[in-house]
Amino acid sequence: MEFRNFNELINKVQNSNKKKKVAVVAAHDEHTLEAVIKAMNDNIVESVLIGDKHRIEEILTKLNFNINDSNIIDIHDDKEAAMKAVELIRENKVDFIMKGKIQTADLLKAVVNKEKGLRTGNIMSHIAIHEIPNYHKLLAVTDGGMMMYPNLDEKKQIIENAVNTFLAMGYEKPKVAVLAAVENVNPKMPETLDAQNLKLMNLNGEINNCIVEGPISYDIVMSKESAKIKGFESPVVGDADILVVPNITAGNILGKSLVYSGGAKMAGFIVGASVPIVLTSRGSSSEEKYLSLVLSASLNQ
């Protein structure tokens, strides 16, 4: 199964018998609540809103939406709200977490707490999934939001996190492109060495359930014509599902370029914890937050 666009993903979630529940941390934020309300109206999720109850109710009134009083937990301290969300996950009362008006560091501190957190032993990484006007299916970029300068082992785990996410969405064998500026191995360009090693790990069975290609340049990934001119053959050419970037700067620039210059729609979350964490940037639109909720709700349906 592959998804051409977010509408197909929305339809999948709406037609599922299992509706996921999200815990929204510091939910007293209008853009966040707009996204949550749309997701509830569209039969995507149920929600528990944690935060300043008075402010939450004011925003809900402004947005003309009523929610059961039992689904609002009145906690004014952001760090306490984050710990409460983690507690609800551990008690199996909610399925995933969404960031509201809280500092990212405060939310993640609760998630990675050694005694009461949601760590799995794997690293946590960010995945941004894009619907691009001139590409035939959804395309992920990782990691442009969490791991700054990952080493080889961390890149392996970033790939595994992304592949496991796509498998949970219903894909069978996602195609992974490990990006570099060139498609040849150059000892002076460490990312090409990492890409070569990651491809070998895939061939040797150390990275499973996917096809890994690298090093490979962006133009070859996205254009069969470019690959033909350069004489590069791979099943990943023109059909990649996941783009792995060398560092957070490259991922951040690529992701924002796709959105702001390429007209892409984007959804993003953090994976690698025991549940997805919807963690969009401060500048994210309510649509981006909504699509990120759809994305998280689509896993393991």
Domain of residue 298, CATH code: 3.40.50.10950
Give 69's pLDDT tier (boundaries 50, 70, 90). Answer: confident
Region for residue 51 given its phi and psi (left: phi exceeds 0; alpha: psi -120 to 50; beta: otherwise): left
Span 141-159, average pLDDT? 96
User: Beta strand 139-142 with 125-131: parallel, antiparallel or unpaired?
Assistant: antiparallel
How does pLDDT run across 224-247, given as a tens digit for each residue? 999 999 999 999 999 999 999 999
Residues 248 and 147 in one domain: yes
Same domain, 132 and 266: yes
Q: Is the pLDDT of residue 283 over 80?
A: no
Does one domain contain both 16 and 74?
A: yes
In terms of DSSP bridges, do strands 72-74 and 211-216 run parallel, antiparallel, or are they unpaired? unpaired
For the CA atoms of 74, 119, 299, 294, the dihedral, rounded to the nearest 10 degrees, stands at 40
- Cβ neighbours of residue 9 closer than 8 Å, sequence gap 6 or more: 3, 138, 169, 294, 295, 298
Determine contact, residues 25/81, Cβ cutoff 8 Å: yes
Together in a domain, 53 and 134: no
* Same domain, residue pair 163 and 130: yes
Is 279 in the same domain as 256? no
Strand partners, 51: 74
Question: What tens digit of pLDDT does each residue of 174-187 get?
Answer: 999 999 999 999 99
Phi and psi (nearest 5°) for 70?
-70, -15
Mean pLDDT score of the chain = 94
Residue 301 has pLDDT above 80, yes or no: no
Reported as a single tens digit per residue, the pLDDT across 156-168 is: 999 999 999 999 9
- 7 lies in the same domain as 29: yes
Q: Do 267 and 131 lie in a common domain?
A: yes
Q: Give me the pLDDT at residue 202, please.
A: 98
Print the domain residue range for 198: 123-272
83 lies in the same domain as 175:
no
Residue 212, domain CATH: 3.40.718.10
Please list the alpha-helical segments (H only) found in the chain.
6-14, 30-41, 53-62, 78-90, 104-111, 152-169, 190-203, 218-222, 224-230, 248-260, 286-297
Are 130 and 261 part of one and the same domain? yes
Report the number of distinct structural domains present in the chain: 2
17 and 56 assigned to the same domain: yes
Q: Is 234 helix (H, G, I), strand (E, B) or coil?
A: coil
State the pLDDT at residue 115.
87
- Indicate whether 265 and 280 sit together in one domain: no
Given a cut of 70, whether residue 33 has pLDDT beyond it is yes
Q: Distances in Å between the alpha carbon of 260 and those of 49, 64, 263?
A: 31, 31, 6
Which tokens is 223 given?
């254009």
Q: Strand, coil or helix: what is 300? A: coil
pLDDT recorded at residue 293: 96
Mean pLDDT calculated for residue range 3-7: 96
Residue with tokens 């796509």: 166
For residue 124, name the pLDDT band (cuts at 50, 70, 90). very high
